[in-house]
Amino acid sequence: MTYSNSSAQKKIVLDSSTLITISDNCMMKVMKALSERENISFIIPESVYAESVQTPMKIRRFGLNAIRIRDAVEEGYVKIAKATPQTRQRLEQIEQISQNLCTFNGEKMILLHLGEMETLALHREIGADALAIDERTTRMLIEEPEGLLSFLRKRHHGKIIMNTAQLGEFRREYGGIKIIRSTELISLAYSDGSFAEEIHATKQALEAALFAAKFGGCAVSFEEIKSYMGKIR
């Protein structure tokens, strides 16, 4: 599958956490507008599609959300990337790193799950421009592993060690990934007019949408939202 129709098109890989925040808050049409206005291709791994559409479609309370995501795929503004031998190879490599990255009192402490690793493998394999992920641990591991280590040491009463060789390898492969969350997609939609696809683009609506993302589980703090809203005219 080709993900880019032109060299200017930007590729953003969506983790399931971001896809769920966006779809739960009825913002899929906003994503469509964003895709068209900003020439963005939103891409998800097959496993995220299965987790967000195929499985929940069988459960009544999750069905509506699953349909929203399925429609987005059918309309083409969210694309599914099929796993290739190369992505599988990358996945094995991340799995290996992840399993040996951190120890607690000498025992392996496994921080990431296959789902997050698949998103990372896909991002690298297709040379995506950014990764949208709402959960905290993967983001911290990519952007500030020292901060994550310090947090783990504070939280756990034992000896937490990060394997520097494995961390170095992880950083070489994934350290430069640009990360955004659903809050940035919402903010971008507000500023470029895509927001109007769902709701009037008022400051009050933006703030409400950012808080809806936070309460939907996006790893953003009250302080961040307050600070950002203070700068919006």
Partner 1 sequence: MNEGLLQRLQSLSEAFSGSYAQNLKRLGNDFIEEAAETNDTSLARLSVISYALYKILSKDHFVKNKGWGAISRNISAELLKAARALEKNDIGAFARSIDNAVKSIEGIDDELSNYAKNIYEKARIKQASTAYAAGLSLNQAAALTGADSKEVQKYIGFTRIHDEQPVHMGIEARMKMLRGLLGK
Task: Return residues touching partner 1 (CB under 8 A).
Answer: 8, 10, 16-17, 20-21, 24, 38, 40, 51, 56, 62, 104-105, 107-116, 129-130, 134-138, 140, 143-144, 147-148, 151-152, 155-156, 158, 178-181, 183-184, 187-188, 191, 210, 214-225, 227-228, 231
Instruction: Considering the complex, state which of residue 66 and residue 81 has its C-beta at the smaller distance from partner 1.
Output: 66
Give the nearest distance from C-beta 61 to partner 1 in angstroms. 10
CB atoms within 10 A of CB 140: 19
DSSP string, 166-206: HHHHHHHHHTT--EE-HHHHHHHHHHHTGGGGTS---HHHH
Instruction: Considering the complex, state which of residue 5 and residue 85 has its C-beta at the smaller distance from partner 1.
Output: 5
- Residue 179: exposed, middle, or buried by beta-carbon count in 10 A (0-12, 13-18, 19+)? middle
Give the nearest distance from C-beta 179 to partner 1 in angstroms. 7
Instruction: Considering the complex, state which of residue 85 and residue 191 has its C-beta at the smaller distance from partner 1.
Output: 191
Both structure tokens of 38:
């900003």
Give the nearest distance from C-beta 166 to partner 1 in angstroms. 16
Closest to 27 in 3D by CA, of 80, 61, 81, 77: 77
